[in-house]
Amino acid sequence: MDLSIAALLAQDGITNGAIYALLALALVLVFTVTRIVWIPAGEFVAWGTLTLAGLQTGVAPGTLKVLVGMAVIAGLMEAWGCIRRGQAGRLPRRLAAWTGVPMVVAALVWWLAPMQLPLPVQVLLTLVTMTTLGPLLYRVAYQPLAEASVLVLLIVSVALHFTLVGLGLWFFGAEGSRTPAFSSTSFTLGGVNISVQSLLVVASSLALIGALALFFGRTLYGKALRATAVNRAGARLVGISPDFAGALTFALAALLCGFSGVLIGPITTVYYDSGFLVGLKGFVGAIIGGLSSYPIAAAGALLVGLIESFSSFWASAFKEVIVFTLIIPVLLWRSLTTTHHEEDE
């Protein structure tokens, strides 16, 4: 390997790592606020790519059908909940939020899809669709079990992953898709060829991470989520609804994952079931951060990207083996430095 290959691999690794970092952050966010190990994050990545690919060809993406279906189910669940608790007065507002808004989003995207608008608008439509889908998923699958153990929530996650993969095959078909790069130009810096696309990926990841930092540091909602992550019962006592915190978390996480999907689309062909492995690579990063530290999780994800890139050069057949075996030394280290276990029921 000479220096130029190394530089190329490093560039690839950092680009992929930046995408995994977004995922890792989403996973840490979801886990700290809701205690959900969010295995289906990967499906949101794949659906992000496939939604954008659908818009590219001027077809209303299958995601919209899922959106509408989930909105109907969420509406029914809200209606049932309100009636059972005798709070029928609250129903219109709830229905507007849980069914109305997603329907409007779906209708809008449906209407705009055939117009083949410029790429940035399509990206925006993709992100809006994915962000709307996140809270719906939480409402329908997780919220009824919000107080269950981490283990039960984890099994729900896995079941949801199955469902979403099945739906993905149904709505997107078995063919893979790629989305166009934002830019195909490149330039040379110090003898190393650098593609503008890579720079854009890294820059937009950083921008999104910065925006998140601002959200958590400066806004009331961001602080509410942080409070919930630190102490759920305490946050509830000061008036932060756990349901709201969960929904908001899933909106943010879906945005992050959907955006990863948009970024990964030009790099690799994405199939309906590609999300799983991508999501798990985000998990490896998140586990390096102990599912609790954002900066370490992001750094871990970057490391995953680099290791993946270099191992694809040396032992491409064992690329996945090497990446997933990476968590063994990480867990070993965490295990040896953790002095006692906690009671988790």
Partner 1 sequence: MKWLGSRAAFAVFVAVLAVVPQVAPAFWVTLGNYIGLYSIVALGLVLLTGVAGQTSFGQAAFVGLGAYTTAYLTTKYGTSPWLALVIGMVITAAVALFLGFITLRMKGHYLPLATIAWGISLFYVFGNLEMLGGHTGMSGIPALSFAGFELKSENRYYYLIWTITLASLWATNNLLDSRPGRAIRALKGRLEMAEAFGVDAARLKIVVFVYAALLACISGWLYAHLQRFVNPTPFFITQGIEYLFMAVVGGAGSVWGAVLGATVITLLKQVLQDVLPWMFGRSGNFELIVFGILMILLLQFARDGLWPWIERILPRRTPPPVPPAEPLPARERATRAGPLLEVRKARKQFGGLVAVNDLSFEIRPGEILGLIGPNGAGKSTTFSLISGAAALTSGDIRFRGESIGGEPPYEIARRGIGRTFQHVKLIPQMTVLDNVALGAYLRGGSGIVRAALALDGAEETRIKAEAARAIARVGLTEHTFDAAGSLPLGKQRIVEIARALAADPMLLLLDEPAAGLRFLEKQELAALLRSLKSDGMTVLLVEHDMDFVMGLTDRLVVMDFGEKLAEGQPADIQRNAAVLEAYLGSVV
Question: Measured between alpha carbons, how far is 67 from 49 in angstroms, rounded to an integer?
Answer: 16
Of residues 116 and 163, the one with the C-beta less far from partner 1: 163
Burial class (CB in 10 A: 0-12, 13-18, 19+), 19: buried
Nearest CB to partner 1, comparing residues 111 and 147: 147
CB of 303 to partner 1, least distance (A): 15
From CA 5, how far away is CA 2, in angstroms rounded? Answer: 6
Q: Would you say 105 or 284 has its CB closer to partner 1? A: 284
CA-based torsion, 229, 232, 238, 241: positive or negative: positive
Least distance to partner 1, CB of residue 69, Å: 11
Q: Give min distance, CB of 207 to partner 1, in A.
A: 29
Do residues 281 and 323 touch, judged by C-beta distance below 8 A? yes
Q: Which is closer to partner 1, CB of 34 or CB of 205?
A: 34
Strand extents, DSSP E, the chain: 186-189, 192-195
Minimum distance from residue 4 beta carbon to partner 1 (Å):
28
Query: What is the C-alpha separation between 192 and 59, in angstroms, rounded?
Result: 39
Residues that bind partner 1 (CB under 8 A): 37, 141, 144-145, 148-152, 154-156, 158-167, 169-170, 277, 280, 283-284, 287, 291, 317-318, 320-321, 324-325, 327-328, 331-332, 334-335, 338, 341-345
Q: How far is the CB of 284 from partner 1 (least distance, A)?
A: 7
Q: Which is nearer to partner 1, 104 or 321 (CB)?
A: 321
Beta strands in 190-325 (DSSP E): 192-195
